[in-house]
Structures are given as structure tokens and as C-alpha cells.
Structure 1
Amino acid sequence: MATATTTALSMKLLVDTKARRVLFAEASKDVVDFLFSLLALPVGTAVKLLGKEAMVGCVGSLYGSVEKLDGSYVQPGAAKDALLHPAVLSPSASSKSSLLGMPPPPCPQAKAFYRCSRQCNCYSDGYFGSSSQQVRCNSCRTYMTESYGTYCPSCKNQMTTAFTVVPSAASGGEVAQAAGGVSGKGFVQGIVTYTVMDDLTVTPMSSISSITLLNTFAVRDLSALQEKTVQLGYDQGLEILKASLQSKTVLTDVS
């Protein structure tokens, strides 16, 4: 499988050389964003990335069946690509954390709303029109639609006049962008470093939590501990994805 050109990330591992296992890792926001983005991968995308033969269970067989299915058996309007190459929509997939070359999620489009295009003349030259005309005008104003050209339920004219949508006041947007980087993309904030366990459990890191972890692992010989910095690129991303579907010791398996 051809590798994709991606920006490599790094992660610092704490390795118990005697037990030959990774105790935990120190990871940046971008690494955690990548790990969390695995949750948003459709099964079809995972099969495509890893290959049918690498999948545990029968998912690879399902994927192969869709590949071989003749188009004459597919419903009109349905597309095999929707199953074989599904779109990935993930808030965690920022440009830096997309090690697997997944495209970033599309920017949400602002919705447009329309009201009745009928010009109301129930108040003209200082005089009100008939009461029935006023009621109909008021009724027209109560309807809106997302579909341009929908007929107004009150007067049956087309609803083509766009509303002017006033955005609400920002609530912490600047803080989120400062924490997440210049673009504010991804899922977690970048104000702290994160602890990643061998089974990919992720928590914010602190000096106290690191000491607690060492006690949890009952480390007696500190000289056996070794720090190891590893680079994460496309190939390592695939290994992590594959191991996460099969193992509880992902970091040890791929390091």
C-alpha cells in the first residue's frame, strides 16, 4: 500500500526495559487528536487502510463482497463507493493529526431561511387596511422555510425573501482557539500534555499522576526505566489502528 505524505508527530514513551513493556507515554494535543480520530473512522475505511486480510472476524469478507458485487444488483441511486470509501466526518481530524491522510471534515455551511415574498400593503398612507388583510399579512410573517421557493401556507406566494441571520455573541471562542492553536482545529485543547496508557487510555498529565502511575506499576528499579521518543507517521498510524482493534497493549506492540 502506498504511503501518504503527512506531517510526522512525536511521542515520548516510558519503557520498563526489564519487563519489556511501555508503561505510559507523554503525548501532545496533535497525537491525542489522532488517537481520538480513530473513533470516527467508518469500518469500511479501516478495511481499506489495513487491507481485507488484516481484519479480524468477517468484516474483510463483507468488504470483498461489495467490491465484487455487479452493479446490476445495486439499487438505483445507491453507490458502492459509499460503503467502500465512506466519508470521514471527525472533529478530531485536524491537518496535523491526520496521519492516515484522511481529508479534513467539510466546514459546516450556514443555513439560509426564507419568508414569504408577498409585499404587505395593509398599512398605507396612514390608514390600516381591512382586518382580514391585516390577519393574512401577520400570518405570512409567522412562516419561514429552509427550501427556497416553498409556497406560503397563508397566501400561497413563493417564499423567496431571505432572512438576515444575526450571529449570537461569541462564548469562549477566543479561548478555545488560543488553547487549540492558531486554527483552533482538532478535539482536545493544547494547554496541557496528555498521558497515554499502553491500552490507549488518555488523561491529562500531571507530575502527581506520573508518580501515581509508577506506584501502580510497582516499579522497584528506577534504573530499568528508559525514556524513548518515537516518531509517528503514516506507517506507525496504520500500526496503531491495527493494534487498537486487536490488542490491549498497543504502545508496547508498535514501539
Structure 2
Amino acid sequence: MEKANNKLKLKLIIDKKSNKVLFGEARRDLVDLIFSLLALPLGAITKLLTKDAIVGSIGEVYDSLSNINGTYILSYGKQSSLLNPPLATISDYDTNYFIPPSTYQDTKNRLAYICYSSSKFCCPYVSLVSGTTCLGCGKRMDLQTGLKDPKFDTGMVAEASSEGKRYVAGEVTYSVMDDLTMVPMSTLSSVALFNKFEIKDLGSIQEITVTIGFEEGLKLVKASLESKTVLTDVFLKKNGASKSNA
């Protein structure tokens, strides 16, 4: 997996006979992206996918809070923290495909808020909403500050340390299964996978390369909540991402 034009490229091994993804080969940028699914709050998922794309009733809960009269709201900060919850930071602004590009436009004059103790910076977190509870110390984040260039500050709530921006270490290649199971890859593991799928006719195997941007990122979110064949659903079906022969 590599970057191309600010998108990720993922190599998929597919079985042409069944038109299914057997597994993919990914490096840590994509693995980080998939692991960050676990950090997405329900409010963020609902906002990203829209109510009609959500299975179940959580979309109705989101709409109810969005439409409730301000008279009944204790605090705008509390309401906004549910409707626009902070998104987890991942390694690269250009490939954080769970955050719409528009999130980072026109930020020059926008304000952010931090917590403080004795008028000094307290914890390595920042919020776009005044009065948000700090994830580090539990204090109110209401000390006003400015926003940096978004290319260097990659989240609605960003961690100051670089450690918080990655989940996996090194330049290891990972096998990504159709259900998003991920394990470090080796030659032996590749052979084991072909044996697992009982592939005897190598002529039925094809390698394709797919690109992942914001739209594909949203499809990954949606499919991961509904399916055990995520890669097949996102990349091989009619409305999947564009692909090219490897």
C-alpha cells in the first residue's frame, strides 16, 4: 500500500471465479486508518454517513438532538460535543479519510480552546468548543487560543505528542482480510492464506490496485458496521472505488 495523489493505494488479491477479495496487502498508514475506526464516536459516524445510511435508530437520536429547541438544552457545548464529537488523530492529515476536507478549510481566524492551571497550558489537547471537558484532567477547556495550519494539526481534538498519531510501528506489511482482520505479513503467511482458501488454480487469482480517499473511507466505515465482507463490498461491487490492474 502506498500514497498516490494524497490517496492511499491498496493491492487486493481477488478470486475472479467468485469475485471476492481473498486478502489485501497494506502498510501502516492504512492499518492506522482501519484501527482508528474504533475511535470514531457514534455521533461522528452518524454525521459522516447521514441518518439514511445508518442501520438502526441512532440516526433518529442524532436528529432529535439536532432539532431540539435551545430552551431545553443545558449547554451548547454539551450539545455540540455529541453532534460534533472529536475525531481521533491519525498519522497524516492528507490521509485522514474519516474527516471531511472542508473541516480544515477557512481556519485562519477560527478559535480553539485549551484547559489551563494558574493561567498556564495544562494538557496536550485542544477543542473547537468552549467548555468541553478535557480528556486529560477533566477541567473545562475555555482558555482561548488560535488554530495552527491544519496540515500540521490533524484533528478536531489533537494530541500534542507524535506517539498519539500512530497505532502500529515500523514499515511492516500487513495482510488485511475481507472482514478487516489484520496480521503482519510474511511469505509463509501468504502461502497459508492460499491453502486456507483452497486455491488450486492460480489462473483464477488476480491482483488489482484500488485507491482510497474520503468517499472510500466512508464506505469502509459503513461496510464495517454491516458486513463481514468489507473489502469485497467496497471495492468489487458496482459502486466500489475505481480500480486498475496491478
> Under a length normalisation based on structure 1, what TM-score does the superposition of the two structures give?
0.64
Compared with structure 1, are the counterparts of its residues 56 and 110 closer, same or farther at alpha carbon in structure 2 (3 Å cutoff)?
Answer: closer
Compared with structure 1, are the counterparts of its residues 63 and 188 closer, same or farther at alpha carbon in structure 2 (3 Å cutoff)?
Answer: same
C-alpha distance in structure 2 between counterparts of 1:64 and 1:228, whole Å: 40
1:93-108 pair list within 5 angstroms: 93-101=91-99
- Aligned AA (1:203): V
1:137: which partner in 2?
none
Tell me if the contact between 1:50 and 1:238 (Cα under 8 Å) persists in the aligned partners.
yes
1:49: which partner in 2?
48
2:186: which partner in 1?
206
2:218: which partner in 1?
238
Give the deviation of 1:100 after TM superposition.
2.2
Percent identity at matched positions?
44
Give the deviation of 1:110 after TM superposition.
11
Give the deviation of 1:75 after TM superposition.
1.4
Give the deviation of 1:187 after TM superposition.
1.3
Structure holding more strand per residue: 2
Tell me if the contact between 2:20 and 2:232 (Cα under 8 Å) persists in the aligned partners.
yes
1:30-179 pair list within 5 angstroms: 30-76=29-75, 78-90=77-89, 92-101=90-99
- Residues 157-184 of structure 1 show CA distances to partners (whole Å, capped at 9, x for unaligned) of xxxxxxxxxxxxxxxxxxxxxxxxxx66
1:123: which partner in 2?
none
Give the deviation of 1:76 after TM superposition.
4.2
C-alpha distance in structure 1 between counterparts of 2:115 and 2:191, whole Å: 48
- Aligned AA (1:212): A
2:177: which partner in 1?
197
The CA RMSD measured in Å over matched residues stands at 2.6
Give the deviation of 1:95 after TM superposition.
2.4
1:251 aligns with 2:231: yes
C-alpha distance in structure 2 between counterparts of 1:111 and 1:76, whole Å: 21
Question: Number of matched residues?
Answer: 178
Q: Which runs of 5+ in 2 are unaligned?
A: 105-113, 119-136, 138-161, 236-246
Give the deviation of 1:237 after TM superposition.
0.5
C-alpha distance in structure 2 between counterparts of 1:30 and 1:96, whole Å: 11
| 3-state DSSP of counterpart to 2:78 | coil
Tell me if the contact between 1:33 and 1:94 (Cα under 8 Å) persists in the aligned partners.
no
> Under a length normalisation based on structure 2, what TM-score does the superposition of the two structures give?
0.66
Give the deviation of 1:81 after TM superposition.
1.0
* Higher relative contact order, chain-length normalized (CA < 8 Å, sep 6+): 1
- Residues 36-83 of structure 1 show CA distances to partners (whole Å, capped at 9, x for unaligned) of 111101100000000001000110010010011111011146532111
Tell me if the contact between 1:24 and 1:195 (Cα under 8 Å) persists in the aligned partners.
yes
C-alpha distance in structure 1 between counterparts of 2:12 and 2:76, whole Å: 49
Q: Which has the larger radius of gyration?
A: 1
Compared with structure 1, are the counterparts of its residues 71 and 30 closer, same or farther at alpha carbon in structure 2 (3 Å cutoff)?
Answer: same
- Aligned AA (1:61): E
- Aligned AA (2:231): L
- Aligned AA (1:207): T
Give the deviation of 1:7 after TM superposition.
2.2
- Residues 85-114 of structure 1 show CA distances to partners (whole Å, capped at 9, x for unaligned) of 011234x4532441122679xxxx99979x
C-alpha distance in structure 1 between counterparts of 2:183 and 2:117, whole Å: 40
